[in-house]
């Protein structure tokens, strides 16, 4: 399976690239959002970084990426990549892709950022590192929830050929890698 990883300048490209290779995905890096929108291979939106700067890097190709996803392009988002699939974020200015209706807001918890291993409904514990979480307008897109200090948030969102995780599967040991591979196979089949 082939994938293109959109590099918006702050993503966890090295560890995510290794994880993708481990689950049988040959990934190439693309810095141009319009070029990342072309093709039909799996589009991966990596984690790590801030919403505002990632949205600014995405802006020149925003319409093309939206059209590609609307046409059925498979996509996986990781951490910030999940957040970019929503409309906007309190973390910074700019538009998200708007694949999912809703906004990303700061976690409502005493300890922020939320860093560490946390239970994800329906799976084992996964490794999280985030201060913001998506708040979908339609909770039917949530495939699994997680919680940090009483703040319940989507750990996995999914609709059609698009899936995203708030945690870092590439840092979540064998269970995270297995989930990454399963989601990639599901959205590309």
Q: What value does the mean pLDDT take over residues 78-89?
A: 98
pLDDT tens across 91-149, in order? Answer: 999 999 999 999 999 999 999 999 999 999 988 999 999 999 999 999 999 999 999 99
Distance of CA 84 to the CA centre of its chain: 7
- C-alpha 124/C-alpha 117 separation (Å) is 9
The single residue of 114, 130, 148, 168 carrying the catalytic annotation is 168
Query: Residue 81 sits in a domain of what CATH number?
Result: 3.40.50.880
**pLDDT value of residue 11:** 65
Model's pTM, two decimal places?
0.96
Token pair belonging to 136: 């979908």
Q: Is there a catalytic annotation at residue 147?
A: no
Per-chain mean pLDDT for the chain: 96
Which long-range contacts link 59-65 to residues 24+ away (Cβ below 8 Å)?
Answer: 59/33, 59/94, 59/95, 60/32, 60/33, 60/34, 61/32, 61/33, 61/34, 61/35, 61/36, 61/37, 62/33, 62/95, 62/97, 64/33, 64/34, 64/37, 64/38, 65/6, 65/33, 65/36, 65/37, 65/97
- Specify the 3-state DSSP secondary structure of 164: strand
**Burial, 137: exposed, middle or buried (Cβ in 10 Å; 0-12, 13-18, 19+)?**
exposed
Of 22, 68, 23, 140, the C-alpha closest to 45 is 68
The single residue of 79, 91, 130, 148 carrying the catalytic annotation is 79
User: Domain span at residue 141?
Assistant: 2-188
Token pair belonging to 127: 């490794």
Band of the pLDDT at 47, cuts 50, 70, 90? Answer: confident
Q: How many domains does one find in the chain?
A: 1
Q: Is there a catalytic annotation at residue 148?
A: no
**pLDDT value of residue 48:** 85
In the sheet with 86-89, reading across from the earlier edge strand, the strands are: 86-89, 100-106, 132-136
- Specify the 3-state DSSP secondary structure of 110: coil
Q: Is there a catalytic annotation at residue 75?
A: no
Distance of CA 29 to the CA centre of its chain: 16
The single residue of 30, 91, 130, 170 carrying the catalytic annotation is 170
Plot region of 9 (φ>0 → left; ψ -120 to 50 → alpha; else → beta): left
């Amino acid at each position: 399976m082939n994938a293109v990883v959109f590099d918006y300048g702050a993503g966890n490209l090295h560890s995510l690239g290794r994880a993708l290779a481990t689950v049988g995905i040959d990934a190439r890096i693309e810095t141009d959002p319009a070029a990342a929108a072309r093709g039909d291979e799996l589009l991966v939106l990596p984690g790590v970084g801030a919403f505002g700067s990632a949205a600014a890097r995405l802006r020149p190709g925003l319409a093309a990426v939206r059209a590609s996803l609307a046409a059925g392009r498979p996509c996986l988002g990781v951490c910030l990549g999940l957040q970019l699939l929503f409309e906007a974020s309190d973390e910074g200015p700019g538009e998200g892709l708007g694949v999912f209706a809703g906004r990303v807001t700061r976690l409502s918890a005493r300890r922020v950022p939320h860093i560490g291993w946390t239970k994800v409904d329906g799976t084992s514990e996964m490794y999280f590192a985030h201060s913001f979480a998506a708040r979908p307008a339609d909770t039917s897109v949530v495939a699994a929830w997680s919680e940090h200090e009483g703040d319940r948030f989507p750990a996995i969102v999914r609709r059609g050929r698009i899936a995203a995780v708030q945690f870092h599967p590439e840092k979540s040991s064998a269970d995270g890698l297995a989930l990454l591979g399963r989601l990639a196979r599901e959205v590309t089949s």
